[in-house]
Amino acid sequence: MKKILNDLKLKFEAALWALDPELALIDTILEEHPELFEIVAGDIVGIGKGSATGRQDSPTVEQVVRAALYKEMKKLNYRELEYAQYDSRICSTFIKLEGRKPLSFEVFHKYISQIKVESLKELMVSINRIMMEEASVEDGKSVRMDSTVVESNIHYPTNNELTWDCIKTAHRIIKQLEKSGCIKKARNYQKQAKKHRFQINNTKKSDQRKELFEKQLKLLRSSINQAERAAVEASMTGDLNDWLIAQQLKDLMQKMEKVYDITRRHELLGESVPNAEKIFSIYEEHTDIIVKGKREAEFGHKVNLTTGRSNIILDVEIVKGNPADSQLYAGALERIGIDYGIMPRDVVTDGGYASLKNQETAKGNGVVNIVFNKIVGSLKNIVTSGNMETRLKKWRSGIEAVISNFKRGCGMHRCEWKGREHFDAKVLWSVIAYNIRVITSLLLPKLQ
């Protein structure tokens, strides 16, 4: 603890670092623990393989990690990150440009996007462990958990909108083949489809809506057939670019067929289609529908967070589907034990996690105080005293502020990164950035 505090004090003597203590902290951690870079080094293809005489404009592993951390802590996009290298002295110092020309946003996107989710989880845990062991910011004796929803970057999904998305996207891709001369002029179904879409949105009578959906589905079927013919022709030209476009069409056709089937069953046949069979976006197909209590449905992924007394996020799980919170309890406890080599003395959650099975699991792992904020039936909290139960319940409510701080401070109400892997990666980068901010706020009083 003494070394890391002394290093931070020395850094703060320089006006550059004193202006941004959060960057000073993570810079100190990275300098003292270069092994952190080895965690992600294997994911960044091509790093460290260059020759002494070849091109020297590729970033090092350290620069990639530092750039990613700076980007998340400052809530920048890749273009803003490129600009910051020119505009900010502390940015160029933190990324260790050392007088070289700033790297482009394409370069950073190429390398940062290759870092895998598993590596980011290990990086998050490693930073947490370093600060727990060397700065004593957290002991892990008391934990609380709660779940929240991070939305995917999609519009509100309705059968009408999904059908329109399919028709316009298919035409956009086919238009590329038309421009390359691969196919003759394609028929444009967008004008009619757009008219039907507007009419459906403004029609309340079920008979009229059904008639309009029949017309819209005929256009969708025609669009699917046209896309199928175009894909076949593009595959036979022998041109690589045409072949790649054909693969896009084939992938899109699978989604179009699914949207067609769901819309026909629901709008024409009146079936209630199970959520597991639905698709909520043809662009972000991984999106789940999340319904919590009586709240409005949200579209994204459920994220289960576990924090300690310090408000540091110790564990994060990005869940597939919409399982009950009670199914996430045992896994979170197990990961805390594996990742940090400790088992909490106190575990407190809201009533959504309450079950006899979870209580038995916690008790079997040696947890002393097992508290659920609301309990139903014969289930009773296990505590050493009534006062301890009250204190833990009051403390549990503080995780709502942690979630709010995490989502507002890191811009995680909605994830704009594309694809499930990148969605998970963005959440984990944001958790790391949030933890750095919290740890800095805990260490600054000690430095003063």
The DSSP secondary structure of 369-388, one letter per residue, reads EEEESS--TT---B-S-HHH
CA dihedral sign of residues 157, 160, 164, 170: positive
What span, in angstroms and rounded, lies between the C-alpha atoms of 212 and 196? 6
Side-chain half-sphere CA neighbours of 66 within 13 A? 25
Domain with CATH 3.30.420 in the chain: 138-154+288-422
Res 18: pLDDT:
84
Give me the long-range contacts of 84-87 (CB less than 8 A, separation at least 24): none
Side-chain half-sphere CA neighbours of 442 within 13 A? 17
Kindly report, residue by residue over 137-163, the tens digit of the pLDDT: 999 999 999 999 999 999 999 999 999
Kindly report, residue by residue over 331-351, the tens digit of the pLDDT: 999 999 999 999 999 999 999
Q: Which tokens sit at 66?
A: 């530092």
Share of the chain above pLDDT 90, in %: 80
Say yes or no to pLDDT of 48 above 60.
Answer: no
Kindly report, residue by residue over 294-321, the tens digit of the pLDDT: 778 999 999 999 999 999 999 999 999 9
Given pLDDT bands bounded at 50, 70 and 90, which one contains residue 69? very high
What span, in angstroms and rounded, lies between the C-alpha atoms of 369 and 347? 6
What span, in angstroms and rounded, lies between the C-alpha atoms of 195 and 202? 11
What residues contact 8, with CB distance under 8 A and at least 6 apart? Answer: 21, 24, 25, 28, 443, 447
- For 29, phi then psi, to 5°, come to -60, -45
Compute the mean pLDDT over every residue in the chain, rounded to the nearest whole number. Answer: 91
Say yes or no to pLDDT of 53 above 80.
Answer: no
Res 448: pLDDT:
67
Say yes or no to pLDDT of 132 above 50.
Answer: yes
In CATH, what number does 138-154+288-422 get?
Answer: 3.30.420
Res 308: pLDDT:
95
Please identify which residue in the block is written with the tokens 């939305």: 151
Say yes or no to pLDDT of 56 above 60.
Answer: no
Angle in degrees, CA 440, 445, 448, rounded to 5: 115
| Mean pLDDT confidence for 17-31 | 91
Kindly report, residue by residue over 73-94, the tens digit of the pLDDT: 999 999 999 999 999 999 999 9
Q: What is the dihedral of CA 401, 147, 118, 278, to 10 degrees?
A: -140
Given pLDDT bands bounded at 50, 70 and 90, which one contains residue 45? low
Given pLDDT bands bounded at 50, 70 and 90, which one contains residue 286? very high
What span, in angstroms and rounded, lies between the C-alpha atoms of 435 and 432? 5
Say yes or no to pLDDT of 54 above 50.
Answer: no
| Mean pLDDT confidence for 43-70 | 73
Kindly report, residue by residue over 180-217, the tens digit of the pLDDT: 888 888 899 999 999 999 999 999 999 999 999 999 99
E-assigned strands of 202-345?
A: 288-290, 298-307, 313-318
